[in-house]
Amino acid sequence: MQGLPWPAEDMSRRLLAWYGRSGRDLPWRRSRDPYRIWLSEIMLQQTGVTAVIPYYERFLAAFPTVMELAAAPLDKVLELWAGLGYYRRARFLHQAACKVVSEHGGCFPEKLETIMALPGVGRSTAGAIVSIAFDRKAPILDGNVRRVLCRLLAIFGDPRSGKVEKHLWSIAEMLTPEDRPHDYAQAIMDLGATVCSPRNPDCESCPLSGLCQAFWQGVQEQLPQRGKRKAVPLVQQVALLIHHDGRYLVRRRPLDGMLGGLWEFPSTTVPEEKTSEAAVRALTAGEGLSAVPQPLGTVRHAYSHFRVEVHLFTCPGDSCGMIAEEDHRWLAPAQLADWPLHGSHKKALGLL
């Protein structure tokens, strides 16, 4: 294993001194409650701080303890999560809260391995909880830290490839100090978020520029290297806005799949060999309706691994029979505005 070109203590001393001057004041940093720190870490996965703060505050207002989160219905959790994206995190959050209550009596576990056993918690998230909540040494390797370490030691190669990732974990272990791991974890994440940014890093303000191998080699803009990006497919869908007496029919998606537990208008993917008009006619017949659907418009939305183009149609319907199904609801537009619809169908409300 490649060693460090300078003492680890030198790096942590510089970083912690900078953090004392420039660390961000964030809501979850005002507490050592592992529940609050866990909640913030899950919300911050794939999402920026500015977007997370209002969601974090609303969640705590609704579920101030892990016991109350576990006792809440999943629909309520998804409703408060709506708009934050990556909805699997919300389902895992609820499942993990239930596990903390059922297996740990509502007391958040302190051991790294036990925390990693919770749904939706990986090694880096668990390390952040152990470091920040319990002030015990545990390395972290989120996106910001990967970038800092790749530049600090001029590590080339895709940082998510098995070989490079293993090396980065060993470096993170060596650099994480026994003293003040709570501050170190937050400091190195802050450095990546505010100074060592993906583009145009502010090397002149960086407390580690004197140690940074990429800076001295002039390759900081080239690191970290990324693997080849896959083409993002475009999926064509149709959605049917069935209306009756000023209300619209929505249904809940299965829990065990993409966007699980969220709600949508009846919809289907358009097969390659069909037009959207043919697909919506089949969807209308499948819903037991005889009326001819009328085009309303088109919305576009990007998910993590694909883009979707949804062709919207309206059709009158009879509420009798449909409302009896447990996962269907008739809702007025005002209700739909606050309902946990997934992203593309939430956009459809703008055309009603």
The contacts of residue 131 (CB under 8 Å, 6+ apart) are: 137, 138, 140, 176, 181, 182, 184, 185
Burial grade of 200 (CB within 10 A; 0-12, 13-18, 19 or more): exposed
Q: Could you tell me where the DSSP H helices lie in the chain? A: 8-22, 34-44, 49-62, 66-71, 74-81, 88-104, 112-116, 123-134, 143-152, 162-175, 181-194, 213-217, 276-286, 333-337, 343-348
CA 273-274-275 angle, to 5 degrees, is 135
Lookup result for tokens 């958040």: 108
DSSP assignment of 83-150 equals TS--THHHHHHHHHHHHHHHHHTTPPP-SHHHHHTSTT--HHHHHHHHHHHH--------HHHHHHHH
Encoding tokens for residue 75? 């629909």
- Is 41 a residue of the active site? yes
Separation between Cα atoms, residue 291 and residue 284, nearest integer Å: 8
Rg (the chain; Cα; Å): 24
Of 41, 110, 272, 326, catalytic:
41
* Residues 298 and 237: beta-carbon distance below 8 Å: no
Largest CA distance in the chain: 75
| Helix axis angle, 74-81 to 49-62, nearest 10° | 150
List beta partners, residue 307. 234, 302
For residue 298, the surrounding DSSP H or E stretch is: strand 294-302
Catalytic residues: 41
